[in-house]
């Protein structure tokens, strides 16, 4: 049974524990409120995926080095997520749902963890946080970037405090940042690979900056201040397709250094790997509405997985477990901030991305 622990203090010795040892103090997700001079809290979510430890390392280093004995400049609400998976250094256990698909608005919102995250959402809504951040790692090579769910000045200002590279996404549903975007500026931080010191240092700097802000600015951003990308499709490998990397006798033998293609604009004709038998369509690409748009992006008829249009992948990974549990990658396109209107709760996409001729129409 997934149960929420809510505290107004740090349990003794918690800051001494790495992510893999948090289960000794916390038997599940915990929401911890720490009071600061400014009573409006900053919300920070860490370890929604148990092997993505940078968020917890940033929080515990920040608190130990700066605020263990001094007053926080702002109240801080910390959600510590999947301690069971963190114990085994895994994204999630086989008997678990992906926690970052269980928040309000997702298909798993009525599940046991979904009800818990509804409780967290309602609690934090009542506290009116200045902002929300969800800290993640990637298993592949990616630059540090921020992601948002609404194209509004305050969301962009928050995200670009971390990185000028910002990804706008509306799928997958049920993410923490999307749930909180209904009542405060929210962002997801992608901090590179777990264990990299630079990712932790970068996250600490962002946390420090946000804790000292009196407000998130709402002034519009110029196009030269942000590199904005729109996530248009998700690429998955069916569970029954055997994959590998390099010169291996699997149904798909992806190129050995596949993840170096992240955030690279790939022209048509680039090969992601070899096909050695298996189904005629070894990948599935779905657009933001869940339509199969595989034929818009790849061809498979020359024993290769080849791009057939210019596209930019993110989160390509060499971790087979993550590929099967989540996806191979996302596909993105550049968009211009000036071309987009403010997104409302009723209309989650600007009109310019709802045109019938936009990339990613269903294959017929």
What confidence tens digit (pLDDT) does each residue in 215-267 have? 999 999 888 899 999 999 999 999 999 999 999 999 999 999 999 999 999 99
Percent of the chain at pLDDT exceeding 70: 93
- Alpha-carbon torsion 107, 109, 111, 117, what sign? positive
- How is residue 71 annotated by DSSP? -
**Region 99-128 average pLDDT:** 97
Average pLDDT on 324-350 reads 72
* Mean pLDDT calculated for residue range 1-27: 95
Residues carrying CATH 3.40.630.10, the chain: 5-221
pLDDT reported for residue 218: 93
Closest CA to 11 of 49, 24, 37: 24
* Residue whose entry in the numeric block shows the structure tokens 């590179």: 192
Which runs of E-coded beta strand occur in the chain?
5-7, 30-34, 36-46, 72-80, 131-136, 145-148, 165-168, 186-190, 227-236, 243-245, 252-254, 271-275, 284-287, 298-299, 304-307, 312-314, 329-334
Average pLDDT over the chain reads 92
For the stretch 279-300, pLDDT in tens is: 999 999 999 999 999 999 999 9
What's the whole-number mean pLDDT along residues 134-153? 95
DSSP-assigned letter for residue 20: G
pLDDT of 56 over the 80 cut: yes
Q: What is the pLDDT of residues 61-87, one digit of tens each?
A: 999 998 888 999 999 999 999 999 999
pLDDT tens for 338-363 read 776 454 443 444 444 333 334 445 55
Could you give the C-alpha distances from 293 to 54, 238, 283, in angstroms and in order?
A: 34, 15, 11
β-strand 312-314 against 329-334: which pairing, if any?
Answer: antiparallel
pLDDT of residue 235: 98
Q: Which fold has domain 5-221?
A: Aminopeptidase (3.40.630)
Distance CA 199, CA 191 (A): 5
Q: How does pLDDT run across 177-225, given as a tens digit for each residue?
A: 999 999 999 999 999 999 999 999 999 999 999 999 999 999 998 888 9
Q: How far is CA 160 from CA 171, 209, 216, in A?
A: 21, 12, 11
Asked if 51 and 86 count as a contact pair (C-beta separation under 8 A), the reply is yes
Instruction: State residue 2's pLDDT score.
Output: 80
Here the tokens at position 204 are 């600490």
**pLDDT score recorded for residue 348:** 44
Q: Is the pLDDT of residue 96 over 90?
A: yes
pLDDT at 361: 52
pLDDT of residue 362: 55
What is the Cα–Cα distance from 162 to 110, expressed in whole angstroms?
33
Which positions ≥6 away from 301 have C-beta within 8 Å? none
Burial 117-133, CB ≥16 within 10 A → b, else e = bbebbeebeeeebbbbb
For residues 117 and 133, give the distance between their C-alpha atoms in angstroms, rounded to a whole number.
15
pLDDT at 222: 86
């Amino acid at each position: 049974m997934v149960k929420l622990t809510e505290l107004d203090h740090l349990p003794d010795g918690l800051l001494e524990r790495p992510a893999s040892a948090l289960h000794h103090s916390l038997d599940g997700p915990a929401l911890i409120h720490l009071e600061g001079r400014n009573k409006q809290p900053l919300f920070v979510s860490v370890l929604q995926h148990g092997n993505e430890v940078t968020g917890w390392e940033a929080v515990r280093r920040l608190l130990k080095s700066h605020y263990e004995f001094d007053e926080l400049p702002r109240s801080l609400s910390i959600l510590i997520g999947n301690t069971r998976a963190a114990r085994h250094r895994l994204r999630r256990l086989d008997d678990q749902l992906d926690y970052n698909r269980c928040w309000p608005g997702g298909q798993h919102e009525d599940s046991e963890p979904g009800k818990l995250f509804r409780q967290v959402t309602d609690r934090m809504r009542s506290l009116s946080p200045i902002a929300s951040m969800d800290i993640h790692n990637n298993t592949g090579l990616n630059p540090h970037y921020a992601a948002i769910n609404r194209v509004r000045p305050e969301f962009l200002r928050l995200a670009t405090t971390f990185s000028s590279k910002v990804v706008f996404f509306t799928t997958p549903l049920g993410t923490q940042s999307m749930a909180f975007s209904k009542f405060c500026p929210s962002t997801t931080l992608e901090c590179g690979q777990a264990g990299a010191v630079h990712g932790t240092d970068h996250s600490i700097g962002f946390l420090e900056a946000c804790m000292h802000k009196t407000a998130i600015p709402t002034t519009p951003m110029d196009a030269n201040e942000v590199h904005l990308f729109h996530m248009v499709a998700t690429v998955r490998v069916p569970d029954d397709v055997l994959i590998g990397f390099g010169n291996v006798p699997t149904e798909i033998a992806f190129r050995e250094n596949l993840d170096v293609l992240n955030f690279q604009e790939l022209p048509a004709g680039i090969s992601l790997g070899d096909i050695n038998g298996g189904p005629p369509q070894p990948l599935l690409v779905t657009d933001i509405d869940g339509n199969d748009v595989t034929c818009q992006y790849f061809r498979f008829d020359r024993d290769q997985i080849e791009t057939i249009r210019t596209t930019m992948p993110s989160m390509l990974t060499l971790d087979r477990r993550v590929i099967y549990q989540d996806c191979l990658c996302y596909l993105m396109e550049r968009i211009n901030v000036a071309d987009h209107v403010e997104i409302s709760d009723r209309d989650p996409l600007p009109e310019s991305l709802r045109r019938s001729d936009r990339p990613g129409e269903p294959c017929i």
